[in-house]
């Protein structure tokens, strides 16, 4: 499992896309971008 925290949403979304590219081919991979303040999901891959 890998976690990260970025104070700018633009940076977080860039990391989100990069992690999909780097790890997306591995079985069972799921990448989720969360808003830490609200706990809401901003993006997830694969789509749930």
Task: For 1-48, write each residue's pLDDT tens digit.
Answer: 788 889 999 999 999 999 999 999 999 999 999 998 999 999 999 986
Per-residue confidence (pLDDT) for residue 22, from 0 to 100 = 93
Could you count the other beta carbons within 10 Å of the beta carbon of residue 19? 16
Query: What's the CA gap between 25 and 9, in Å, rounded?
Result: 25
Per-residue confidence (pLDDT) for residue 43, from 0 to 100 = 96
Query: What's the CA gap between 47 and 11, in Å, rounded?
Result: 21
Per-residue confidence (pLDDT) for residue 34, from 0 to 100 = 94
Per-residue confidence (pLDDT) for residue 1, from 0 to 100 = 78
């Amino acid at each position: 499992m890998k976690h990260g925290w970025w104070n700018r949403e633009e940076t977080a979304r860039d990391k989100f896309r990069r992690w999909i590219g780097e790890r997306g081919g591995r079985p069972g991979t799921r990448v989720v971008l969360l808003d830490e303040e609200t706990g809401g999901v901003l993006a997830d891959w694969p789509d749930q």
